[in-house]
Amino acid sequence: MPAASNGPDGDTAHTGIHSLDGSSLRDVTAGSDGRCGTACTAGPGYDTVTGPGSPTAGVDAALAAMK
């Protein structure tokens, strides 16, 4: 997706993905590599391993509709 300049960091997709409802992202809620504590452990919601989650089918259309 091409970057636009109307988000706070110049990236509309980044800004838009955080404003979508929870059904637009598949949250990884558990898992760890076992080597670096909480920094490498997934949990519900935003975490440093998987961020907000992986986009689900249709998220591209939802982001496009935000223009």
Instruction: Look at residue 13 in the predicted model and tell me its pLDDT.
Output: 55
Q: How confident is the model at residue 15 (pLDDT cuts 50, 70, 90)?
A: low
Tokens of 62: 């939802």
Q: How confident is the model at residue 2 (pLDDT cuts 50, 70, 90)?
A: very low
Higher pLDDT, 29 or 3: 29
**Read out DSSP for 8-67?**
TTS-HHHHHHHHS-GGGEE---S-B-SSSGGGGB--SS-BTTTBT-EEPTTHHHHHHTT-
pLDDT in tens, 18-67: 666 667 788 888 988 888 888 888 988 888 888 878 888 877 787 777 76
Tokens of 9: 């960091």
